[in-house]
Every structure is written in C-alpha cells, then in structure tokens.
Amino acid sequence: MQFKSRRHREGHRTNRIGWLRAAVLGANDGIVSTASLVAGVAAARATHADVVAAAVAALVGGAMSMAAGEYVSVHSQADTERADLERERRELKTDLEGERNELTAIYIRRGLDQHLARQVSDQLMAHDALGAHARDELGITEAAKARPIQAALASAASFASGAALPLIVTALAPTRLLIPLVSATSLVFLAVLGSIAARAGGASVVAGATRVTFWGALAMAVTAGIGALLGTTP
C-alpha cells in the first residue's frame, strides 16, 4: 500500500517567540530611550533644536548600539554552534557506532522502545548523520540557526522604528507642550506595542499593555526629574 501524506497545518505561537521578542525589545527600547532622553533634555531647559538633535542622536546611536550588541551576541552563538558541529563531524568519523548508540539513547529517553529507537537512528544517520545529531543531540536546527548579520539588521531596524515615533512628535510639537506631548504619545505607542505583542503571543492584551506602559512612564518620569534637577534657566 502506498502511503499518501496530507500536510496538517497548525499555527503555534511558539514559532513566533524568536522574532517577536527581538522586534518588541528593539521597538520598546527605541520608544522608551528616545522619549526619556527628550523629556530629560527638555526639562533641562534646552532649546527645541537641541532637543530634536538629541532625539536624532538617540535614534542613530541606539540603533547602532543594538546592532553591534546583537551581532556580537549572535556571532558568539554561531561560533559555538560551528565548534559543536565540527566536534560531531570528527566523532562520526572516529566512533560511528558510539554516535549511533548515543542517538538511539536519545530516542529511548523520548519514549521509543529500544528496537524502534535503533531503527530510527539507523535510518536518520543513513540519510544525514550530522544533521540528525545536530538536531536531536545539540538542538541546532535550520530555523533556529544563529545568523549574526540578520539579527543585527533586525535589531537596528526595530529600534529605529520605535525611536522614530517620539522623534517625529518632538520635531512637530511646540516647545511649551514638548514634554507632555512626547510623554503622552509615547505611552500610547508603548501601550499599542504591548497589546500587539501580547495578542501575537497569546497573552493578556491588558497585562501586556500595562507592563510596557508602566515601565515607560517610570523611565520618562525619572529622566525628566533628573533633567529638571540638573538644568539651568538660560
């Protein structure tokens, strides 16, 4: 009998964790850090032009910092993955039977009986021995593989997208309303971002929005307070 497979599509939210976390973290950082800087500089009695310049600097500097940090972090992960794969490649050449037993033991721990586990390991290793060990022993898959450049660009883009929102408000707002307008709109941006992230992740929308809004408000309040304390009237 010929076996015909039908693809069963399921949408699992866990598939979104990687990109969702990076996107939300970058955009959240962009909004909070830029809005907080604007609030602090404006509270220190800086001119409107100086505040806008500070916001632009925050966007550019923050995006570059996010890109550099993500690149270094993910590149370290990629180096570790390459070292582990090279070790597995050597062990497959020098101790094939030992590696076969190791893979069999993994499948037994996952619930297969010994005979079936041996069959599975034999067939998978005959097809792609290194790939089987990378996936089932090391947990390295193509979807989750470290990509430093992609991660750096994504982090920079998400940060810049978030920082652009308070920057636009800063550029358009009149000087006397700068702090309340930037603070209020940034809190709205954060609430929307938190809601979208929570909905995409299957969590409570209200809780997600409240979390990011609270910490954003706290950051802006503290920064504005420091700016007012250290600022001088021209």
Q: What is the rounded radius of gyration, in angstroms, for the C-alpha atoms of the chain?
A: 25
Q: Give residue-wise pLDDT tens across range 57-92.
A: 999 999 999 889 888 888 888 888 888 888 888 888
Quote the pTM value. Answer: 0.70
The 10 Å Cβ neighbour count of residue 119 is: 14
* Residue 98 scores a pLDDT above 90: no
Nearest Cα neighbor of 130 from 87, 101, 183 is 87
Q: Could you tell me if 181 and 55 are in contact, meaning their C-beta atoms sit under 8 angstroms apart?
A: no
* Residue 208 scores a pLDDT above 50: yes
Strand, coil or helix: what is 59? helix
Residue 61 tokens, joined: 């500097």
Residue 189 tokens, joined: 């941006």
Give me the mean pLDDT over the 105-126 stretch: 86
Q: Give residue-wise pLDDT tens across range 121-154.
A: 888 888 888 888 888 877 777 656 667 888 888 8
User: In whole numbers, what is the pLDDT of the chain averaged over residues?
Assistant: 82
Give me the mean pLDDT over the 143-167 stretch: 84
